[in-house]
Structure formats: C-alpha cells, structure tokens
Structure 1
C-alpha cells in the first residue's frame, strides 16, 4: 500500500471526521472523495456537517437498530457518570486541556473495554451513543466546576479546582 505525507493540520482534520475504533485514514479519505464526487451543480457540499454525515454513512459499520425511536432502557448503556473520571484523567494527562474531538477519542480508547453494544450504537442524530455520553459528562463536570466554561470554543479545559 502506498504511503503519503500529510501536514499535521490535515491529519487532525482527518481524525475529526473518523469514527474511533472503526475508521482508518483510508476509509475517511474514500468517504471524502465519494462526497466530493457526489457534488451537485458542479460544487461539492460545503458544510462540515454534511461531509461528516456522508463520511459516517458511506463506509462505517452499519448501525444496529433495536427499538426504533426508543431510548435505551435503564442499565443498558454505560451511565454518564462513568465517563467523568476518564475524561478528567485524559485532560490531566494532556496538561489540563485538549480539543474536544481529541478528548472524546482518548476517553473512547480508555473506556474501550467497558463499552457495550448499546454504547456503540448510533443515536437518531447519527452520533455514537458513547461519544454523546462523553459530551454530557463534560457538561455535568462544567456545571460542577471541574471544567472551565470559559475555555475557547472546541477546547475542554480543567479548572484549578479539578487539578490534583
């Protein structure tokens, strides 16, 4: 397989479009090309959201649909609280702050052996449930003063109170 060199910025953008534990750089690039080739009136779709949606749907593992439109029953998914400590640990290990996408990906790596089928299923929004749970964990930690609500957009940062 040929190797190519890309800038760190391009690699970071590829990572932001990838589904952890599912995608490779090759599958993300293939989806982007497919999205580009599916252009309308000579122009590729320009919004990041539409590219992400196309990226996720074209080459990832299909989502398992259980009870359509229903919420996960109590006890089926990993509770949001279970993501608090891994998220704080990931941020602390990175010096106290990370871009949101990197923090989510690293929490996924830390918790990979604890996530179940329900956690790995997609929500109606298209997002994987465990990733959504990490976002909710961030929100709760912010409400409890452990994460900084004034951190730059897209960056998750621990507060001084949360530092060891």
Structure 2
C-alpha cells in the first residue's frame, strides 16, 4: 500500500464515521421527538464516543502525514500526485474555517435558506480566504467545487453539534438557537 492509498483509507474511514454519526444524530432526534429520553441519552453517549474516536483517527492521520513528510524529506524525494488522487492534506481550506461564515450567512438570511443561497453568501464571505485548491473541481465529481463540498461537510458537523437543525426540509439549512448563541459567544458579545 503506498502513502496515497493510506491517505485514501483514512478518508474512507472518516467518511464512514460521518455516516454513522449522522445516523446516530437522526436516531437521537427521533427518540427525543417520540419522548424516548433513554434512547436519546444512549444515542448522545454513542455520538460522544464516536466523536472521540474521530478525533483519534484524525490525530493518526496527521501523525501519518508528518511521518511520511519527514521520511520523504530525509530521502530528498518529492511527493507525487496524479489527477485521480485526493488532494494532499493541508492544501485546502480546513472545514472549521467554514463554521462562522455558514452561521453568519444563515443569520443574515433570516435563520434559514436554501443551500444555494447559503453557499453563495459563504463564498462571498470567504472570497479572499479560499485558495486555488478550494476552487478546483473534485476528482470524484468534476461538477462540484472543492470548497462547496467542504462547506457541506462542515454543515454536517454543525448539525451534529446542535448549531444547525437536523430536521430542516430537504435542501434547506437552518441555524438553531444554540448556533446563534455560539456566534454571539465567539464574537465576544
């Protein structure tokens, strides 16, 4: 297995973790709506364990990238990249950078809006912060731009954290009261 296959394996694992986290979130939300607080508590506990596991996987992924990078430098080699490989870690704008622009855009739009409108505002807010890699199409879907995909992953994280609603109509993003409070807290107000 070469170094790029290892990175792909990490990304596949992280995507699977995201999938399971979303299922746990939906299960917990459904349990709350049904008044089954014990089931909701169990879903929350599992989600917390899964978030801790995700953090460990990310740490291992970073450790791997550092080991490979140092090993390549020691050998005087340069990393190769083909068109179909995933972008090297650290080249695209990180998911967390989209957190505030998404939430602020939702507040500006009255608390909820279609995905396209939110992403348009996020793109305008981040225009100076997006780099050349962010603006490239994804190798897996040339019709999708990388930064929009990253913003959508960030939305999943915000939903899991309770800062955005999980039960919004399809294609609509909505901020929660907790999301508004987070923005106020982060603004220092």
Q: TM-score range by the shorter chain?
A: 0.5 to 0.7
Bigger drift between 85-94 and 66-75 goes to: 66-75
- Answer yes or no: is 1:107 the counterpart of 2:127: no
Structure 1 position 128 matched with structure 2 position 145: yes
Q: How far 1:94 sits from its partner (Å)? A: 1.2
Say whether residues 1:158 and 2:175 are aligned partners: yes
- Structure with more helix by fraction: 2
Q: What is the CA deviation profile of residues 9-34 of structure 1, one whole-angstrom value per residue up to 9, with x for unaligned ones? A: xxxxxxxxxxxxxxxxxxxxxxxxxx
Match of residue 185 from structure 2: none
Aligned partner of 1:86 in structure 2 is: 101
Match of residue 111 from structure 2: 96
The equivalent residue for 1:31 is none
Q: Encode CA deviations 1:104-151: one digit per residue, 9 max, x unaligned.
A: 111001101111110000002120000101111111100111010111
Gaps of 5+ in 1: 1-65
* TM-score, scaled to structure 1: 0.58
CA distance in structure 2 between the partners assigned to 1:75 and 1:163 by the alignment: 29
**What CA deviation, in whole Å up to 9, does each residue of 1:34-85 have, x standing for no partner?**
xxxxxxxxxxxxxxxxxxxxxxxxxxxxxxxx63111111210000110011
Query: What is the CA RMSD across the aligned residues, in angstroms?
Result: 1.1
Q: Distance in 1 between matches of 2:161 and 2:87?
A: 25
- Partners of 1:92 and 1:152 in 2: how far apart? 18
Name the residue aligned to 2:132: 117
Report the 3-state secondary structure (helix = DSSP H, G, I; strand = E; otherwise coil) of the residue aligned with 1:118: coil
* C-alpha distance in 1 between matches for 2:99 and 2:82: 28
User: What is the alpha-carbon distance in structure 2 between the residues aligned to residue 79 and residue 163 of structure 1?
Assistant: 22
TM-score, normalization: structure 2? 0.51
SS in 2 for 1:150: coil
Q: Which residue of the partner structure matches residue 158 of structure 2?
A: 141
Structure index of larger Rg: 2
* Number of residue-to-residue matches in the alignment: 99
Structure 2: where are the runs of 5+ without partners? 1-80, 182-189
Q: 1:77 aligns with which of 87, 92, 111?
A: 92
